[in-house]
A and B are shown apart, each in its own frame.
Chain A
């Protein structure tokens, strides 16, 4: 299957999802007015990916900000990834050392999602 790639904009993150290597990256900002519309193509791509995932999937998330409608979409993304055998997937959540809000957001998802989420401090 094809990789999923989108460049970053001032309101939407960079999305780089490689089906072959299982390396996923989301970085930048996610504050679109209509998040569902923005993320829908990615949901569809993931629906296909989880049918036949790479041996290991590693998803790096380095978001600067996101709005609440994006956080709903992140849950939707993670719910799809929960279909992958839990030993074969890891989510790396990055935050800046003094960014308590982003750290707490990582903890929120850790609480809700049934996938290993590693919280990592970004080296500045």
Chain B
């Protein structure tokens, strides 16, 4: 992936054009819930096509809940960072983008990177097969797990997942993810 991908830069760029909503600040399950609720209301205002609304909403839910599963492992006190997550939801013409940034344990970076890279290599048909394989055989866990979320996000959005990791300190890294959702 493009190593110059920088969420701060994207954030500024998005502010100037088509941001539907954005958030930067503390993170909690409740907060993510509120973001989901607000995003849904915004989407209802701006998107006339029911099925597009539905698709965008379901990708949004998956992205935000995926973050939640990751920060469950992050001790926010040890992190000492007020702005634990960043979220930008934008509309570009007919299409939508969701950009998120959140801290994860540095120890998890390689595994997550590997999962996203693996999904990005697959064709649409292969993603479908992979999804079925993981869904049918994957062990159920309290975390949802097995990377089904990432596969689902790639499958529904219909595009490649763009990401970046930057080291925050010895323990934490900042993970940013850009998902473009094709509305056609």
Contact = CB atoms under 8 A, between A and B. Distances in A.
Interface string B29-56: 1001100100000000000001100110
Main secondary structure of the interface of B (DSSP, over half): helix
Contacts of B11: none
Contact of A72 (B50, B55, B58, B144): B144
Interface stretch (A17-25, A51-59, A85-93, A96-104): A96-104
B132 interface: yes
A64 B54 contact: yes
Nearest to B156: A101
A111 B32 CA distance: 33
A108 interface: yes
B135 A65 contact: no
A73 interface: yes
A6 interface: no
Interface of B: 29, 32-33, 36, 50-51, 54-55, 57-58, 61-62, 65, 68, 128, 131-132, 135-136, 138, 140, 142, 144-145, 148-149, 151-152, 156
Q: Which 9 A-B pairs have the closest CB atoms?
A: A69-B144, A112-B136, A68-B148, A68-B152, A65-B58, A68-B149, A72-B140, A31-B61, A98-B51
B29 A65 contact: no
A33 B29 CA distance: 8
A65 B57 CA distance: 9
Interface of A: 31, 33-36, 64-65, 67-69, 71-73, 75-76, 96, 98-101, 104, 108, 111-112
Contacts of A69: 65, 144
Contacts of A104: 128
Contacts of A65: 54, 57-58, 61
B55 A101 contact: yes
Nearest to A96: B51
Contact of A67 (B32, B61, B140): B61
B131 A108 contact: yes
